[in-house]
């Protein structure tokens, strides 16, 4: 191949620069006096996260893994979860109903939320509150204090010694629950905030375990039905609820019924006094986001800008998102709000929760939502892989993710990590 003469090479470069600059007003490709421009700087973050100091400063982290347990506890873990549940090379998740999970991260076993599905029906999920005590979780990370998320919080924490990570009001309720068994003084809490602090939309960093990176905890808003959304043209989510499940698993135990009724007044309303929290965890190359509610974060809604920014700017972004797809917002805006949590978090893998048959009408069963949620996810730019959980077959069916899997390295297109 013959070499280009210098004057021909300069002509070729100038022509290429002219062609690129003709595409618009950008300076990309422009050449002055035959000199190529300097490389453009990397993109900057799309927004600035509102950071808050830890609400409980000076917390001593929980011990590093492996955490020694008794033979009885190990036998309970093996029976319920299978051998190797706390393998530090994998993140493992077991759905137990509503938004509750047993989780193993970095060799640590803990819970997201704590409630056995008992009310109108019983014995639907294979996991009981006694099982949650028997496996001795190290901590219970609570999304908010409604009964369907924290109805068994005091029972499990008081009997197992698990650290409760929650807001002040939720911790106080857990101690009241534990007092029924005389265990109120055994409930230890890491407080995230109170009714007013930290600000909604802010993120605090917590060193929960000595050997794992800090957790990021986002204070966001609970789901809400807002009539103005209907007036603005939004539509409610229409589905056919599951009735047969409740008839087939009808609760006939008076003691269980009493237990359920006693929990109904725990932090009622759309603004739980103990706050609404989302948790982001990192281990190795892997990141996990869990939340059990999804507030109204459409453009123009209060705190929408802060919350959407936080969802997109967690450290190393989000690989797997465990997020609710059911909330009061479905009554006035369909899947808008729950969809926006996924769109703004940009996960590689998305798993829904809170969509099972946990209460009549409001808990219609996963099958009732599946077609509409699959269509919602498919409509998203850079849609994540959808691992749709069905009840009851996916209860306690483990999801495992190797923390060194190369798929976690490349950023998800559209995320702030990809922008950087």
Among residues 361, 373, 328, 354, which one has the least CA distance to residue 227?
A: 328
First to last CA, the chain: 40
Sheet of 100-105, strand order: 189-191, 163-166, 139-141, 108-112, 100-105, 90-97, 399-402
Listed by start position, the domains of the chain span 50-419
Cβ-based neighbours of 378, under 8 Å, separated by 6 or more? none
Is residue 263 within 8 A of residue 271, CB to CB? The reply is no
Token pair in block for residue 341: 């949590």
d(CA 138, CA 155): 14
Q: In which element (H, E) is residue 21 found?
A: helix 6-21
d(CA 355, CA 362): 9
Q: List Cα–Cα distances, 194 to 55, 199, 245, in angstroms.
A: 9, 10, 38
Cβ-based neighbours of 117, under 8 Å, separated by 6 or more? 97, 98, 124, 125, 356, 358
Tens of pLDDT along 312-346? 999 999 999 999 999 999 999 999 999 999 999 99
Characterize the bridge pairing of strands 276-283 and 215-220: antiparallel
Among residues 313, 308, 314, 306, which one has the least CA distance to residue 288?
A: 314
* Predicted pLDDT at 40: 39
d(CA 126, CA 394): 10
Is residue 94 within 8 A of residue 81, CB to CB? The reply is yes
Q: How far does Cα 51 stand from its chain's mean position? A: 19
Is residue 90 within 8 A of residue 403, CB to CB? The reply is yes
Among residues 165, 160, 111, which one has the least CA distance to residue 322?
A: 111
Q: How many alpha carbons lie under 13 Å from residue 34 in its C-beta half-sphere?
A: 7
Average pLDDT of the chain? 89
Tens of pLDDT along 57-88? 999 999 999 999 999 999 999 999 999 999 99
Is residue 237 within 8 A of residue 335, CB to CB? The reply is yes
Pick out the chain residues at pLDDT < 70: 1-45, 265, 420
* Predicted pLDDT at 262: 79
Number of Cβ within 10 Å of residue 38's Cβ equals 6
Q: How far does Cα 12 stand from its chain's mean position? A: 53
Characterize the bridge pairing of strands 276-283 and 286-291: antiparallel
* Predicted pLDDT at 45: 59
State which CATH number among 3.60.15.10, 3.30.300.130, 3.40.50.1820, 2.60.120.260 fits the domain covering 50-419: 3.60.15.10
d(CA 309, CA 240): 35
d(CA 360, CA 117): 12
The secondary structure of residue 270, as a DSSP letter, is S
């Amino acid at each position: 191949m013959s070499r280009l003469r210098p004057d021909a090479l300069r002509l070729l470069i100038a022509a290429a620069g002219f062609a690129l600059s003709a595409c618009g007003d950008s300076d990309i490709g422009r050449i002055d006096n035959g000199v190529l421009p300097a490389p453009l700087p990397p993109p900057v973050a799309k927004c600035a996260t509102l950071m808050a100091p830890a609400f409980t400063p000076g917390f001593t982290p929980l011990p590093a893994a492996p955490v020694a347990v008794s033979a009885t506890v190990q036998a309970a873990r093996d029976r319920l979860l299978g051998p190797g549940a706390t393998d530090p090379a994998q993140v493992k998740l077991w759905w137990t109903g509503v938004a509750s999970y047993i989780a193993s991260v970095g060799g640590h076993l803990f819970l997201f939320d704590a409630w056995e599905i008992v009310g109108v029906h019983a014995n639907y999920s294979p996991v009981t509150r006694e099982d949650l005590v028997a496996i001795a979780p190290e901590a219970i990370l609570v999304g908010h204090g409604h009964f369907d998320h924290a109805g068994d919080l005091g029972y499990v924490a008081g009997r197992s010694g698990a650290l409760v990570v929650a807001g002040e009001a939720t911790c106080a309720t857990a101690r009241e629950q534990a007092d029924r068994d005389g265990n109120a003084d055994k409930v230890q809490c890491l407080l995230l905030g109170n009714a007013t602090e930290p600000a909604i939309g802010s993120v605090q960093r917590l060193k929960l375990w000595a050997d794992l990176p800090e957790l990021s905890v986002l204070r966001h808003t609970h789901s809400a039905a807002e009539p103005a959304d209907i007036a603005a043209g939004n539509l409610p989510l229409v589905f056919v609820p599951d009735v047969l499940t409740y008839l087939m698993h009808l609760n006939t135990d008076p003691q269980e019924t009493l237990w359920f009724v006693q929990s109904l007044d725990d932090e009622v309303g759309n603004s739980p006094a103990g706050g609404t929290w989302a948790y982001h965890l990192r281990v190795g190359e892997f990141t996990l986001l869990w939340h059990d509610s999804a507030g109204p974060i459409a453009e123009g809604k209060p705190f929408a800008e802060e919350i959407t920014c936080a969802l997109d700017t967690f450290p190393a972004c989000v690989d797997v998102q465990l997020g609710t797809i059911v909330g009061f917002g479905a009554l006035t805006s369909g899947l808008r709000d729950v969809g926006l949590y996924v769109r703004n978090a940009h996960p590689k893998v998305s798993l829904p929760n809170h969509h099972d048959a946990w209460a009549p009408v409001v808990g219609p069963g996963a099958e009732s939502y599946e077609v509409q949620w699959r269509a919602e996810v498919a409509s998203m730019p850079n849609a994540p892989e959808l691992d749709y959980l069905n009840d009851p077959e996916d209860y306690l069916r483990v999801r495992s993710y190797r923390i060194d899997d190369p798929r976690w390295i490349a950023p998800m297109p559209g995320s702030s990590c990809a922008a950087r």
